Structures are given as C-alpha cells and as structure tokens.
Amino acid sequence: MNKSVDYIIVGLGIAGLSFCEIAEKNNKTFVVIDQPFCSATRVSAGIINPMVLKRFTPVWNARQHIATAFSFYGKLEKKLNLSFFKEMPMCRVFASVEEQNNWTVAADKKKLSAFLYPRILKNNNKFIHAPFGLGKVNFTGVINTEKLLNGYQNFLLKEKKILPEKFRYDLLQITNNSINYKNIKAKKIVFAEGFSARSNPFFNKELIIPNKGEFLVIKAPGLKLEALLKSSIFIVPMGDDFYKIGATYNREDFSFEVTQKAKKTLISKFKQVVSCNFSVTNQVAGMRPTTLDRRPLLGDLPKQNNIFFFTGLGTRGIISAPALAQKLFKYIEGKKPLEKEIDIKRRC
C-alpha cells in the first residue's frame, strides 16, 4: 500500500472507528492499521446506558455523550446499510423497599428526571424474581459490537483504507514534518489502541489500568425478555432467545483466557434473578482500558511531534467515544484546548 494521507490511525475499536468517522466527515484522508479481533469493543456488552445503576447517579457527561452517540450510531447504520443498533428499554431490579425509595428520590432530581421513569413498575415475567418491582431507565439501547466492527472493517477494506495487521512500532519513522510507516506517509498518527497502549513505546504503560471482564452467552428459550435487565449483573437480549450476561471485573489477571471462576460467579448471579432453564453457549474475555481517575486519555504528550492518543475509555467507550472523537479532532486540527479532565497531559 503506497499512500500519502493526513492520518495513520492505529486500532479499530470504538475509539479508532469514531475518529475515522470524524476525520472523513472533515475531508481528511487516513489509513487504519489494526489486527482484527483484538479490541475490547468487540467483546463488550455494547450497552448504551446514561446511569450508574448501583448508586442511581448519571454517568460522566451523560447528556452530551448519549445525544451524540444516538445520532452517531443511527447515521452509521445508514452509511453501512447495516442494522447493529437497537434502542431498548432498561429495567433495574430493586432488591429492597429502600432501593425503591432511593429511585423515587433520584427520579425527582432535575439532572436525573430525563433518564429515570418515576413510577415503580410491576414485574410481569414469571421467570424474573423482582418482588420489589423494577425501575425503568430512558435513552438506553444496545450495540451489536461484533457486527459493527466487522461491517466497518469491510467498508474500510473496500475503500482501501485499512491494513489488517499488527502494528510494528519498529517500522515507524518520525520527522518534524511527517510520519512514515512502511510505504505510508502521513502528517499525524493517532494511537487508539485501548489496553494495547501499554505496549506502545511512546506511551507510559502505567497510565492504563487493565480491568479484565468476562461475560457469558446463554440460550434461554423460555425467558422472552424484551428489555435490558440490571440486577447484580446485566442481562442483554441478543435475539433468537440468546442473551449476554455479565460482566466480571478483575484487575489482577492480564490474560485473555476465560475462567471457570468467572463462569460460576455469573451463573450464580443469573440464577438469583432468573428461574427458567438455560444453557451456556459461549464465554468471552476482554480487557478494559481503565484509568486511575476514570477519565479518558486524549491528546499528545510533551516533546512528541504529531503523535496523538485516544485511549483510556474504560467501561463507557460505546457511549463516550463519538463525542470524545470530536473533541480530539478539534484539538488537533483547530487547536481547541482539551478539558483538563480528559487531556493526557494531566497525568504527566
């Protein structure tokens, strides 16, 4: 591939994909370098949810990120002629009268009223154990992340905008005016590598805290669940009686191997809320790129020429990546400062 482009983008998880879209929208040329099937996005639950349902608080920048995400994914479906995004209600299973009361109080707050349906809903599914009822969250949905990434990769392949291979840092040549990789010459490079940024020689690996997550895919023909369900775990309808259940959190294990411990934990928590028969059809593990202050890492580091980072999105990348890609692009091309809470320089 002999090319001269504006950007080399390393990584095609949700961060890299989102930056591709904003670059293309602004008539910037790019080539993506990505080893298929390695991103945390591909094995994520794909949930769009504006709330932290353990504490009934909004996620960081919920209003802006949700609005941008819904628009972004809707337009991307049309562009790719692919159905991967489904708006779907989410219900929180209450464990006590106290949680019911906390929900009612939270739903009455101005900053939360748009997201929380104020009435306590009665459970009508005989296989769901919810004696204290359910709380409904607005502006929720689910992304089929594997379908999205496969579809976008195919789009890039047709456009000849991707090298589906592992990036080799030893082949990168950097000058004051250009970035050179194999036969590709670019003005700038954006590393959107997620957890793999820890192997990047231009990046301080201590900035990323790996958080391993595992989930199960089950088949439960009797469940007939039509909403996302949150108890001590998430239950995500996938269609055709298949569901994702998860996820676990582990900051000690850096392997991508699935574990019997996680499987037993998830099955135990599932049985606490669901009583129908089911079978486990798959188990998947991935590594979330979390940070110490739970904020992403965007921008460039001191004394680096035209090298930029878009990583550290943690557990909320599906929601936040489209809006953050816009901010990073405006920083690079428009010199618009990044907020301190997302600027990678805050960690220097």
How confident is the model at residue 242, as a pLDDT?
A: 97
Q: Is CATH 3.40.50.10860 the classification given to domain 3-44+146-208+293-347?
A: no
Q: Which two tokens stand for residue 244?
A: 């994702």
- Average pLDDT estimate for 284-293: 93
* Closest alpha carbon to 276 in 124, 128, 93: 128
Q: Which amino acid is at 191?
A: F
Distance CA 310, CA 192 (A): 5
CATH T-level assignment (fold) for domain 89-140+209-290:
D-Amino Acid Oxidase; Chain A, domain 2 (3.30.9)
pLDDT tens-digit readout, 301-339: 988 889 999 999 999 999 999 999 999 999 999 999 999
The pTM assigned to this predicted structure is: 0.95
* pLDDT-derived band at 272, boundaries 50, 70, 90: very high
Higher confidence at residue 304 or residue 98?
Answer: 98
Per-domain residue ranges for the chain? 3-44+146-208+293-347, 89-140+209-290
Task: Give the pLDDT of residue 218.
Answer: 98
What is the reported pLDDT for 307?
97
82 pLDDT band, cuts 50/70/90, is very high
pLDDT of 37:
61
Are 133 and 100 in contact, with CB atoms under 8 Å apart?
A: yes
pLDDT averaged over every residue in the chain: 95
Write out pLDDT tens, residues 222-254. 999 999 999 999 999 999 999 999 999 999 998
Choose among 100, 117, 107, 45: nearest CA to 266.
Answer: 45
Tokens describing residue 301: 């580091």
